[in-house]
């Protein structure tokens, strides 16, 4: 696997191209940190974008859902997809309305996902999906029954046609605005968990949460 994803016509950044990246390690890191993604397809009824959970295994992303899921069925039947992964690192607060922005790391991927038929790959993908959300959760919990596996559609999308875009730093201001008294800067944002809330049906209400829950962070 090469260190970079070769840019194609549609993954070549034109606007703020200096923020564009095609190194595979960065693409993988952003995909792994993003809790979920937005998947766009074209259906008979027009464009459709839905948020959904993903998991990366090697150079592929796996998506899953019910066998009747319109988004997944469109992809499983050969439709193209465009998937966006977005991490917001901060709000960029300018002296002007015009230059407000966000600091972010994002990835856009194009491709034609394939339905996962192999039972071993399907099970591994479902395990990766559970562990993507809470690392280690798959070993704390029950694995799927044959009925649950049959009720789940899994597709695999290659990360071969991908771009990353990264913005960091303070607002870009008009030189004349630097004389204004307005406060400007960055408001950093992070995703963090609050205290776990036990399910009311726990057999022992005093049972402590496992380490995978108490130590939860994004990678």
Ligand X SMILES: Cc1cc2nc3c(=O)[nH]c(=O)nc-3n(C[C@H](O)[C@H](O)[C@H](O)COP(=O)(O)OP(=O)(O)OC[C@H]3O[C@@H](n4cnc5c(N)ncnc54)[C@H](O)[C@@H]3O)c2cc1C
Sign of the dihedral through C-alpha 165, 168, 170, 176: negative
Nearer to ligand X, 62 or 104 (CB): 104
Beta bridge partners of 176: none
> Minimum CB separation from ligand X for residue 172, in Å?
13
Distance CA(84)–CA(69), nearest Å, equals: 19
50 binds ligand X (CB under 6 A): no
Distance CA(103)–CA(189), nearest Å, equals: 9
Distance CA(161)–CA(108), nearest Å, equals: 8
Distance CA(157)–CA(40), nearest Å, equals: 13
E strands, 67-210, in order: 81-93, 101-111, 114-115, 152-158, 162-167, 185-188
Binder of ligand X out of 88, 149, 184, 189 (CB under 6 A): 88
Site for ligand X in 5-44 (CB under 6 A): 10-11, 13-15
74 binds ligand X (CB under 6 A): no
Widest distance between CA atoms in the chain = 67
Nearer to ligand X, 107 or 116 (CB): 107
* 188: CB partners within 8 A, 6+ apart: 89, 90, 103
Nearer to ligand X, 12 or 141 (CB): 12
> Minimum CB separation from ligand X for residue 14, in Å?
4
Binder of ligand X out of 108, 126, 153, 159 (CB under 6 A): 108
> Minimum CB separation from ligand X for residue 108, in Å?
4
> Minimum CB separation from ligand X for residue 145, in Å?
38
Site for ligand X in 161-200 (CB under 6 A): 163-165
102 binds ligand X (CB under 6 A): yes
- Binding region for ligand X (CB under 6 A): 10-11, 13-15, 86, 88, 102, 104, 106-108, 163-165
């Amino acid at each position: 696997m090469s260190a970079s994803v070769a840019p194609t016509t549609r993954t070549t950044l034109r606007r703020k191209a200096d923020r564009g990246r095609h190194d595979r390690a960065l693409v993988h890191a952003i995909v792994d940190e993003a809790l979920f993604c937005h998947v766009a397809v074209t259906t008979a009824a027009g464009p459709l974008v839905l948020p959904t959970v993903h998991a990366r295994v090697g150079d592929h992303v796996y998506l899953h859902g019910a066998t009747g899921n319109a988004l997944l069925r469109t992809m499983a039947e050969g439709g193209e997809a465009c998937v966006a992964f977005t991490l917001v690192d901060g709000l960029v607060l300018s002296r002007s309305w015009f230059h407000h922005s966000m600091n972010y790391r994002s990835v856009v991927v194009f491709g034609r996902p394939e339905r996962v038929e192999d039972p071993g790959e399907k099970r591994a993908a479902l395990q990766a999906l559970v562990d993507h959300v809470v690392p280690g959760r798959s070993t704390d919990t029950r694995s799927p029954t044959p009925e649950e596996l049959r009720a789940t559609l899994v597709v695999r999308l290659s990360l071969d046609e991908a771009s990353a875009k990264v913005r960091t730093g303070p607002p870009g201001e008009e030189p004349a605005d630097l004389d204004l008294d307005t406060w400007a800067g960055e408001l950093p944002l992070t995703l963090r968990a609050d205290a776990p809330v036990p399910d009311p049906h726990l057999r022992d209400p005093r049972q402590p949460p496992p380490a995978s829950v108490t130590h939860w962070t994004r990678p």
